[in-house]
Amino acid sequence: MDTVRGVLIDIDGVLTVSWEPLDGAVDALRAIRDAGLPVALVTNTTSRTRRRIAATLADAGFPVSRQDVLTAPAATAAYLREHRPDATCLLLNSGDVDEDLEGVRIVSGPGAEPDVVVLGGAGPEFGYEALNDVFGHLQRGAELIAMHRNLFWRTDAGMQLDSGAFLLGLERAAGTEAVVLGKPAEAFFAAALRSLGVSAGEAVMIGDDVESDVLGAQAHGLTGVLVRTGKFRPDAEDGIDGHRPQHVVDSIADVPGLLGLG
């Protein structure tokens, strides 16, 4: 893979699970850095800010700063500031990402009639009352924006449902289609490539989600690498609708070798 000039890496399930480093992950990222390859950590995580993610990873030994981290909430805020600067937004999300939503007008509470409903990551907040409230706003014409479509993710307690499972139901029930701003949206990958100063053909994307990470990246011209960690399931190697991952490795620890870094 001599043409690789930049590396995009998912965090959850690739570098960590429940924020604990996977075996060999710290050394692998250090090897990629030491080879002079620029790195962007691209994540659909919606429970933590970029600053907190970077601090958590750095404390675990990863050579990471806030500038290396690109998140779905930050991408959502950028989209809203550009396309809906005056919109009021209802946020349904598990976790505190207010710092990364600077400039977004968040409303809540009884009587709120938002212009936009923003769906983040799932958690206890995604109960019937909250989802039915979102459904009501969509029926009244509110726009639906989703930070991602992830159906599930892996924690130290096993696989857990994510907001993509609820998003599908809301879209079907309300007869609408969400604007999705995290992976696999083209704009999300494009932002990461701009931050590295490389073209899609010069970049590799490493992820555990065959659809959002790997096939999503491949659809936009990047080289895809699927790891057998995190949410990986054996049938993922077969791909989706005839599209297969270009490379499959056991873990991030195998990526330096795949890239010819020794």
Alpha-carbon distance of 206 to 245, in angstroms, equals 10
Q: What is the pLDDT of residues 79-90, one digit of tens each?
A: 999 999 999 999
Rounded percentage of the chain residues whose pLDDT exceeds 90: 87
92 three-class SS: strand
Instruction: Check pLDDT > 70 for residue 45.
Output: yes
On the question of pLDDT at 262 being above 80, the answer is no
Average pLDDT over residues 212-221: 95
Residues 95-150: tens digit of each pLDDT: 889 999 999 999 987 888 999 999 999 999 999 999 999 999 999 999 999 999 98
Rounded CA separation 215/73 (Å): 22
209-222 average pLDDT score:
95
Which residues touch 41 (CB under 8 Å, ≥6 apart)?
8, 9, 10, 11, 15, 53, 57, 64, 68, 69, 70
Mean pLDDT of the chain: 94
pLDDT for 174-190, tens place per residue? 999 999 999 999 989 99
Residue 1, pLDDT > 80, answer no
What confidence score (pLDDT) does residue 241 get? 86
41 pLDDT more than 90 = yes
